[in-house]
Amino acid sequence: MSDEPQLTAPAAAPPDTHAAPGHAPMPPPVLPPDDALAQPRHGHSLPASHPPDVYVPLRRWVLESPEQLRAMRADLREQLAASAPAPGSGEGSVPDSVVLVTSELATNALAHGRPPAQVHLLVDGHAVLVVVSDGDAAHAPFLAEGREPGEGGFGLQIARRLSSDVGWWTDVAGKHVWATFEDDHLA
């Protein structure tokens, strides 16, 4: 025996049943569905729409990771407090709903989108608009249905219950999910 490496001829590739003689292989006749286009198993996509364009930008946050959510929530609460009189804020108030929904949407953007997530706070004198954006324009926001508590996926359901309206759109920058909140005590 020798310590010299032995060279052998490569094994013949298995014949491709989908390739025509002399042509490149063809994909199989049935491809698995693309998850971006497939209908979700337990729920449906949120309908696409744009918010009204009457809002004025107040503040923007850029979030790279979930660890930044706590600071964003605290700053958002301060921004809302500065825009609303103190007597109007109490348990279950609109500012609490804005903070909760914004946190849910930002968490979704970080967990399911393409970071960084951008959070925009806008006002129009009596209402608040929150827009949360990420770089993933290929996946529609998903409304979970038929899940057991604790399985997650209810952020958009919470947004729909606590806000006046919820929607989303895409553009070259990515996906933008928005929620509006109306209250006479705001801004």
Please state, as a whole number, how many other Cβ atoms lie within 10 Å of the Cβ of residue 116.
16
User: What residue type is assigned to position 1 of the chain?
Assistant: M
Residue 53, in any domain of the structure: yes
Query: How many domains does the chain divide into?
Result: 1
d(CA 175, CA 129): 16
Does residue 163 lie within any of the structural domains? yes
CATH number assigned to the domain comprising residue 121 = 3.30.565.10
The kind and range of the H/E element at 142 are: strand 142-144
How far does the chain reach from its first CA to its final CA, in angstroms?
A: 87
Find the domain containing 110 and state its range. Answer: 45-182
In a domain, 91, yes or no: yes
pLDDT of 84 reads 56
pLDDT in tens, 13-24: 444 444 444 544
Residue 55 covered by a domain: yes
In a domain, 56, yes or no: yes
23 within domain boundaries: no
As beta bridge partners, residue 174 has 171
With respect to residue 148, please indicate whether it lies within any of the assigned structural domains.
Answer: yes
Residue-wise pLDDT for 37-85, tens only, equals 344 455 667 789 999 999 999 999 999 999 999 999 999 999 999 875 4
